Structure 1
Amino acid sequence: MQALREERIALSTGITLNVRLGGEGEPIVFLHGFPESHRTWRRQLADLVRDHFVVAPDQRGFAASDRPAAVEEYEADKIVSDLVALADALGLHGFTLVGHDWGGAVAWLAALTCPSRVKRLIIVNAPHPLVFQKSLIEDEAQRGASQYIRAFRNPAMERMIEAMGLETFFEKSFGAHVDLAAIPPEEKAAYLRDWSRPGALTAMLNWYRASKIEVPAVGEDAELPLWTRAPFPSLSVPTLVVWGMKDKALLPVQLDGLHDLVDDLRLVTVEEAGHFIPWERPEVVTGAIRDFIAETPSP
């Protein structure tokens, strides 16, 4: 059986990432979201390492990877640059890219800007940037569900989390969106250790602070940003979107219009799963990944 290992890999971007990787064969890169780490993908990695080269970094600011101090160091183009630099460091010209939550946001952008590198795109409960921004202006339910973004951008949020305690933050950040029985005790302990690292909370929250997505307050008059009214590039990369339909943060409106923005789209919806579907229904996510790779031409 192929073994997984962890390495710290220094990138040309000046960032060193902690990376879980192993196996042989066609490469798959996995990007996690907030407030997680490579551990999001533990079940997928354990399965797919049997016949693929799998790579799952702790993205900058998370877990054991570097945590630059400035907010602007978490802008999306810099995160995409980390991805490309990691692929370069591993000698990967083309790869299948999988992303969940913030990792999915990075994956959408990487596929749009680096289609020669991203051979297949797999998105797990992460909104397309154009659909998301429009929904935050035009859809009252989605705007209401996204008010946590405004809260996370609050400069006092770190102090609020420290005051409530990391145990309570764990229950709020996961427990509101997933049955905590799906999170083994050792995984919870690992997350609490990661969040206790110096500067960890600020680094994770800086992803929200650096984002250019506009989130108006509930009831606030708001107009669509100019960029959303301009022609938006269509994505030509074969794309699979896996969506837990009970997601309370990213509502099913995020699936509206995707076929107009993606030339080759496959959609798998899972009625009995929410935002953290890699934890709730890992076998469904892994199966969807395997099916998609089998159905699409080898890069």
Structure 2
Amino acid sequence: MSFATTDDGVNLFFETAGTGTPIIFVHEFGGSHWSWEPQLNYFSRRHRCITFAARGYPPSEIPADVEQYSQERAADDVIAVLDATGVERAHVIGLSMGGFAALHVALRNPERVLSVLAAGTGYGAEKEHEEYFRGVSEQVAKNFSERGSKEYGPRYAEGASRVQFQNKDPRGWSLFAERLSRHDEVGASNTMRGVQMRRPSLYDLEDDFRVLDVPVLVMTGDEDDHCIQPGLFLKRTIPRCGFAVLPKSGHTLNLEEPELFNRMAAEFIAQVEAGRWGPRDPRADASQIMRTD
């Protein structure tokens, strides 16, 4: 087993597969390093793929102090894993919590990033829902710590933006729910309180996003309601950003629609590596409907 050590002394489990231009995959709250198996199987044929378990997710260490969990640490942990693998620059692909981390890696360390794919990224970002999100996040943290992952994990897996996965692929969803039921209760509750509840809204980072010179693809499901408007915001704010919407899809995009996810991610990476993912053509004036001159 391979581990990276962070600047605050936390050991993070990681694994690698394949050779080529590096891609690091950053998992969501409901997943872990295992969440990216369909992507490792696909992309390791021509890329060096790296996946890791975030702090609080076995076999990585589980700090008992919630103050050791934050959005900044989540981004810095990605860099710690890249350092441990000897990778200078990588494509960064993240889902949900991992998508937030990927964007923050680009903001904090753009020189280490070839591109960012942020999927299912937006929960808690909508300003009108900030307090609601913090409240439900606190309840989720309590549920993990008081009811335990074995009881509560499958219930969490049946949320409003997860049932799409359950309906399309009951077998795959059952495996997802079973693995979620094995999450460490301390790690899950501390991650929810330290990372999810405290992270800044994407809208609060508008000035930073406007000057971010990194190719970005934002991907969301059309039934992942609280990620759609934040996705549009990122598209309209980040200069080199594209926006992909997957039809009849929820939150767990890389597992729910692995073939479509992989195809779109591969095309994005190919465009980036060909130097074809530039900023929007200034002639594409959003205020114009038709030319009249």
**TM-score normalized with structure 2 length:** 0.81
Residue 207 of structure 1, aligned match among 166, 185, 191: 191
The percent of aligned pairs where both chains have the same amino acid is 22
2:25 aligned to which of 13, 27, 30: 30
Q: Structure 1 residues 147, 25: closer, same or farther in 2, change over 3 A?
A: same
- Correspondence 1:138-287 to 2 at 5 A: 147-153=135-141, 156-162=142-148, 166-167=150-151, 169-176=152-159, 177-178=162-163, 179-180=165-166, 181-183=170-172, 188-192=177-181, 194-195=182-183, 200-211=184-195, 228=204, 231-234=207-210, 235-248=212-225, 250-287=226-263
Across the aligned residues of Structure 1 and Structure 2, the Cα RMSD in angstroms comes to: 2.8
Equivalent residue letter for 1:28: I
- Structure 2 match to 1:3: none
Deviations 1:65-105 (A, max 9, x none): 11011111111222222211111111100000000111111
**Per-residue deviation, 1:31:** 0.4
Report the structure, 1 or 2, having the larger helix content: 2
CA distance in 2, matches of 1:232, 1:245: 27
TM-score (norm 1): 0.79
Q: Return 5+ residue gaps in structure 1 as ranges.
A: 1-6, 216-223
The ranges of structure 1 where at least 4 consecutive aligned residues each deviate by more than 6 angstroms after the TM superposition are none
Q: Is the 8 A contact 2:145 2:185 kept in 1?
A: no
Q: 1:143 to 1:243 in 2, by over 3 A?
A: farther
State which of 9, 32, 35 in structure 1 corresponds to 2:3: 9
Matching residue of 2:286: none
1:229-276, Cα deviation, whole Å (9 max, x unpaired) = 98444221000111111115x342222322342110111101211011
Matched residue of 2:46: which SS? coil
Identify the residue that residue 4 of structure 1 maps to in structure 2.
none
Please list, as runs of the form range in 1=range in 2, the aligned pairs for 1:77-156 lying within 5 A after superposition.
77-127=72-122, 132-133=124-125, 135-137=126-128, 147-153=135-141, 156=142
Counting matched residue pairs gives: 266
1:15–1:82 Cα contact (<8 Å) kept:
no
Structure 2: distance between partners of 1:159 and 1:72? 17
Offset at residue 228 of structure 1 (A)? 3.1
Q: Quick one: structure 1 residues 143 and 210, their matched pair in 2 at CA, closer, same or farther if it must change by over 3 Å?
A: closer
Q: Deviations over 1:149-184 (max 9, x none)?
A: 23235xx4334423xx624x2332112213430526
Deviation for aligned residue 1:204:
1.7
Query: After superposition, what is the alpha-carbon deviation per residue over 1:11-48, rounded to whole angstroms, capped at 9, x for unaligned?
Result: 24222222231100000000001121112111011111
Look up the match of 1:289. Answer: 265
Structure 2 unaligned residues grouped into runs of 5+? 276-293
What is the deviation of 1:188? Answer: 4.5
SS of match in other structure, 1:93: coil
1:279: how far off? 1.6
